[in-house]
């Protein structure tokens, strides 16, 4: 069991080291500096998008009033119901 704990600790340490290396490569000093424009996602074999293109930032309270729901979400908003799943 001690051997497994050591391996897990080494794996975790290596993961943290790799993450810090990625941060430094991006010119960042802290994980709190990461924003949605710095993270990319492959959509299909030919398309890569920034997270802020896929997941637009919402203003505070934007989902509390139908008038402030983003246009891209409006049809889903209209179809949603608290009374049914």
- Chain segment 30-59, per-residue pLDDT in tens: 999 999 988 999 999 999 999 999 888 888
pLDDT reported for residue 16: 96
Q: pTM for the whole thing?
A: 0.56
Grouping H, G, I as helix, E, B as strand and the rest as coil, residue 32 is: helix
With a CB cutoff of 8 Å and minimum separation 6, the contacts of 78 are none
Q: pLDDT: is 77 or 20 the higher one?
A: 20
pLDDT reported for residue 49: 96
Q: State the chain's mean pLDDT as an integer.
A: 91
Contact between 69 and 85 under an 8 Å Cβ cutoff? The reply is no
Which stretches of the chain are DSSP H helices?
2-25, 51-54, 74-79
């Amino acid at each position: 069991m001690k051997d497994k704990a050591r391996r897990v600790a080494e794996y975790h340490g290596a993961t943290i080291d790799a993450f810090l290396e990625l941060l430094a490569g991006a010119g960042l000093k802290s994980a709190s500096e990461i924003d949605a424009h710095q993270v990319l996602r492959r959509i299909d074999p030919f398309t890569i998008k920034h997270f802020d293109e896929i997941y637009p930032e919402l203003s505070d309270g934007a989902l509390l009033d139908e008038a402030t729901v983003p246009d891209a979400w409006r049809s889903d908003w209209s179809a949603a119901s608290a009374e049914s799943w």
